[in-house]
Amino acid sequence: MYIFLTLSFIVMGGLRWNTGNDWRPYHSFFTKFTTDDPFFLIAMEPGYVKFVQFLRIFSSSFTFYLIVLSTIAIGIKTTFFYKYAGAIFLAVILYWGTALADITAVRQTLAVSLCVLSSHFIIERKPWLFVFFVILAAQIHVTSYIFLVSYFIFNAEWSVRSKSIILIVAVAIGASGISESLLELIANITPAGIGLDRISQKALNYLEIGNEVDPQYELSKTQRLTAAIAKRAILLPVFFYFQERVTIRKDLYKGFLNLYTFGNILFFIVVDFITLQRAATYFYFYEILLLCIIYVNVKSKSIWLILIIAYSLFKMLSILVNAMDLLVPYIWIFSEDTYRFVY
């Protein structure tokens, strides 16, 4: 069942058509790569350019590209689940439910998977391999550099009290609006080289854009912040409760919880900047592992099985509702009508 669901996920991602975010620019970049369009070469990170250039040796088919991308991005994550989750069936169910967007993989999805691979070397205490894979990921999507702090965060002796206090401070920073000053600081102190100059440029671009909010939602900052806190007020207390109560895979649980908490701290600090919230994406993945390790440890497995599957289904429905125009109906290369307006 685990292999079947994993392969199904890869097939859905690899054979999709006119499905997902930024379909047009990625399609154009791959299919027209031989033109060496300067606009695309500047817009994409150098590692991603090399990745596309390598795939073009074998085929110019965009479906070929999507199959390779989905196989790598999804394959790395599901292999990591198999090794570290314990409850692998629940892991793949949660993956389908909470990360359905992985079937519409873009270059950041690949970068996140490479960071997941790098976290294996945190556990194995091989710092140089960890750094290598994070820098490799950053050549695919520059936001991956934020993951370099993970080696220290995973191994930190971070109490629940400390986590809670830092989360409160992060919410206060996000509410106060001083995140703009932090962006200015990043733009000023970030050195050039190995792609780091792109961080500085992105920070400046975000400052020019301002506090970008999708106008269709028409929510005030207070409403958005309240909604974000409410979403996290359910899982975080549960995860904190079990920090000192799990006995099986205890060290892994603490490390994964440290990373997941840091991702939420980062989210609240940049809550005003929707584009910058992508940096927190690298840490949400560990939610799946935390739930699986809890399941392995609890005695009332039937109740937890129902709760976790219900949560997974709820998350999947939320994704589908919020991305209805992009995912419903699912269109693949064998569909009679493959048209959908995409951007």
pLDDT in tens, 188-204: 665 555 555 555 555 55
**pTM of the entire structure?**
0.88
Quick: pLDDT tens for 24-42: 889 888 888 765 666 656 6
CA distance 152 to 313: 34
Q: What is the mean pLDDT of residues 218-233?
A: 74
pLDDT at 216 over 50: no
CA distance 145 to 336: 42
Quick: pLDDT tens for 242-257: 999 999 999 999 999 9
CA distance 45 to 138: 8
CA distance 211 to 105: 26
Per-residue model confidence (pLDDT) at position 228: 78
Quick one: what percent of the chain has pLDDT higher than 90? 56
* pLDDT band at 311; cut points 50, 70, 90: very high
Q: Which long-range contacts (CB under 8 A, 24 or more apart) does 61-69 make?
A: 62/27, 62/30, 62/31, 63/14, 63/15, 63/17, 63/333, 65/30, 66/13, 66/14, 66/15, 66/16, 66/105, 67/10, 67/14, 67/15, 68/14, 69/13, 69/14, 69/105, 69/109, 69/110
As given in the structure block, the two tokens for residue 136 are: 């490799």
Q: What is the mean pLDDT of residues 267-279?
A: 76
Sequential DSSP letters for 5-17: HHHHHHHHHHSB-
Per-residue model confidence (pLDDT) at position 35: 58
pLDDT at 207 over 70: no
Q: What is the mean pLDDT of residues 10-35?
A: 87
Sequential DSSP letters for 170-222: HHHHHHHTTHHHHHHHHHHHPPPSTTHHHHHHHHHHHHHH-S---TTT---HH
pLDDT at 219 over 50: yes
Per-residue model confidence (pLDDT) at position 188: 62
Q: In the block, which residue shows the tokens 């995912």? A: 327
Quick one: what percent of the chain has pLDDT higher than 70? 82
Per-residue model confidence (pLDDT) at position 198: 58
Higher pLDDT, residue 305 or 211: 305
CA-nearest of 262, 267, 259 to 286 is 259
> 172 vs 166, 168, 281, CA distance in Å?
10, 6, 21
* pLDDT band at 319; cut points 50, 70, 90: confident
Quick: pLDDT tens for 75-126: 999 999 999 998 999 999 999 999 888 999 999 999 999 999 999 999 999 9
Per-residue model confidence (pLDDT) at position 160: 93
pLDDT at 218 over 70: no
CB 116 within 8 A of CB 80: yes
